[in-house]
Structure 1
Amino acid sequence: MSQGDIAAPDLALIAGTGALPALLMRARPDMLLCELEGFASGIPGTEPLRFRVERLVPFMTELTRRGIRKVCFAGAIRRPKIEPAKFDLRTALLVPRIMGAIQQGDDATLRAVIALFEERRLEVIGADHIAPDLLGGEGVLCGKPTETDRKDMARAAEIVAALGAVDVGQGAVVARGLCLAVEALPGTDAMLDFVATTRPEAHRGGVLMKAPKPGQDLRIDMPAIGPRTVEGAARARLSCLCWRAGGVLLLDRAAVIAAAEKHGIALWGVQA
């Protein structure tokens, strides 16, 4: 059955790459799946509605025509290549506004995107509203953080807060009080690969901390931790993976816990 055959869905999923879109479609299979051209979600058995940034207004109009009232953004999307010749007039009129937001950073860009949809009476909701079980809570899921881990977590939380204040990243790695790496545009996996290849082989332990940016609108780009994150932490020889409770998604919780137990990594949600 194609997405167009589903009876009157009122919710659209604007999907990027990664594991999250498929998890959300599993939770709400009645959603209208939408994809930006060039960023296929790869969800099997679906026929997504595809769109281009240059024709954003016609896309939003089509959502309204189909009875969509709410949209959820999920998955990774890089800034696409823009082809000026493909702009329609209504979308072209938005370019100065969008470009101004892009120059202010990722948070401003995301807020501008939310505003564009809401101005057309399309409510933007977070992934946690569709699948609340994905939200990482407070407490230790496995392992036992050491006193050193606790000190490293506190230091990493300070660093992540400072990074977020200047709209840089949502993660940091700290070992014995020293910051080994911070998350930037390449993302968490690249940060962990850097730690794995640059720290001495004999050095072990340390904490990865993930948290939203201060004041971040969590409806878009909520930080996430998945089995791949745990594998990266294992390659980096870390001992603990932490997140701010209520502000980070755990993608496939059972698999995350299994991977952490396999590698002896503690999982810890904190009110940092």
Structure 2
Amino acid sequence: MTRTAIIAGSGRLPATLAAAMDRPMVCALEGYAPQGLVVDQTFRVERLVPFLRSLADADVGQVVFAGAVARPRLDPSLFDPATAQMVPRLLAAMQAGDDATLRAVITIFEEAGFAVVGAQDLAPDLVPMAGVLAGAPSGADRQDTDRAATIVAALGAVDVGQGAVVAQGLCLAVETLPGTDAMLDWVAQTARRPNPDGPRGVFYKAPKPGQDLRIDLPTLGLDTLARVHAAGLAGIAFQAGGVILLDRLAMVAEAERLGLFLWAREP
């Protein structure tokens, strides 16, 4: 029986995913070790082809990507001849944006003979389907969520971000390169609602339109809940089937304690 390899980045997702799997091989990009997980093999992009060969030698048949990475700085002196032939292809994808880069990475693994699967395929409970998990979004919250979903779709179409905050129909913030935490911290420190006594607003998260859901799914955790609460928002809405919840049971309990809603919205 072939093995599954987790191509891991930093954060807690790789360990959460590994706990739902049977003896996965854990491989991490150098400099991006996952939390709470022993790494079997570390690799560099400059040595990608030898790394792919080592996976085949270890009887790996499929891979799943999990965790956060940034674009690595490449050292030309480290390229092996086979990987060097991929450089123009990789650079062209990187210049086209994150989504193009991820698609190129998937294609390279598939061309090497590996099936690429998503976290939701191996651990379906990590990716909730449609429904309200905690609390109860009001009519105003649902209207703000509709507005936020439209904004996130527009951002994603140009490969910018996966989240937005909307209150009383107005966009208070959008997610850009600094990420979700920075956006929510900014809202907590700066954003003002037109009516201080009106609806508090929502944070909405979704994959980019047309995104390959096998890689780079948006992820929400307990830290996100704490920041949403600190920002004075009413809750979190996210695209059903397209967002990973870390510590799902703990998040539901904490959302209830904080008086926040968690809503997996049908796209």
TM-score of Structure 1 vs Structure 2, range by shorter chain: over 0.9
* CA–CA distance in structure 2, aligned partners of residues 109 and 47 of structure 1: 24
Are residue 87 (structure 1) and residue 73 (structure 2) matched? no
Q: Give a deviation string over 1:110-146, Cα, whole Å, max 9, x none.
A: 0000000000111111011111111121111111111
| Residues 96/137 of structure 1: CA separation in 2 closer, same or farther (3 Å cut) | same
Q: What is the alpha-carbon distance in structure 1 between the residues aligned to residue 84 and residue 40 of structure 2? A: 24
Could you tell me whether the CA contact under 8 Å between 1:211 and 1:244 is conserved in 2? Answer: yes
- Relative to structure 1, is the Cα distance of residues 268 and 128 closer, same or farther in structure 2, using a 3 angstrom cutoff? same
Is the contact between residue 9 and residue 32 of structure 1 (CA under 8 Å) also seen in structure 2?
no
* Correspondence 1:69 to 2:64: no
Name the counterpart of 1:136: 128
**Structure 2 match to 1:227:** 222
Structure 1: tracts of 5 or more residues without a match: 1-7
Out of 149, 154, 179, the position equivalent to 2:141 is 149
Tell me how far apart the structure 2 counterparts of residues 215 and 242 of structure 1 sit (CA, whole Å): 20
| Residue aligning to 2:13 | 20
Aligned-pair CA distance for 1:92: 0.8
Q: Which runs of 4+ in 1 moved over 3 A?
A: 200-204
Q: TM-score, normalised by structure 2?
A: 0.95
1:218 match: secondary structure = coil
Alignment match of 2:24 (pick from 31, 39, 42): 31
SS at match of 1:242: strand
Q: What is the aligned residue count?
A: 264
Identity of aligned residues (%): 54
1:193 to 182, 185, 191: 185
Q: Secondary structure at the match of 1:50?
A: strand
1:42 equivalent to 2:32? Answer no
- Give the aligned residue type for 2:208: K
Distance in structure 2 (CA, Å) of the matches to 1:262 and 1:191? 23
Is residue 109 from structure 1 mapped to residue 104 from structure 2 by the alignment? no
Residue 231 of structure 2 corresponds to 236
Contact conserved, 1:9 with 1:31, CA < 8 A, in 2? no
Which whole-Å deviations, capped at 9, do the CAs of 1:156-184 have from their partners, x for residues lacking one? 00001101111111111000001011111
Task: Tell me whether 1:123 sits opposite 2:118 in the alignment.
Answer: no
Segments of 5+ residues of structure 2 without an aligned counterpart are none
2:252 matches 1:252? no
In 2, Cα distance between the equivalents of 1:129 and 1:175? 34
Out of 160, 167, 171, the position equivalent to 2:163 is 171
**Paired residue type of 1:230:** L
Counterpart-to-counterpart distance in 1, 2:114 and 2:180: 31
AA partner of residue 100 (structure 1): A
Residue 60 of structure 2 aligns to a residue in which SS? Answer: coil
For 1:186 and 1:126, the matched residues in 2 are separated by 25
Of 159-168 and 196-205, deviating more is 196-205
- Kept after mapping to 1: 8 A contact 2:12/2:35: no
Alpha-carbon spacing, 1:52–1:180, altered in 2? closer, same or farther (3 Å):
same
Larger mean Cα displacement after TM superposition, 93-102 or 137-146: 137-146
Shift of 1:47: 3.9
Q: How much has 1:29 moved relative to structure 2?
A: 4.3
- Provide the rounded CA distance (Å) in 1 between the counterparts of 2:190 and 2:55: 47
SS of match in other structure, 1:172:
strand
Distance 2:265 2:25 in 1: 35
Kindly provide the amino acid, as one letter, of the partner of residue 16 in structure 1: G
Normalised TM-score (structure 1): 0.93
* RMSD value, Cα: 1.4
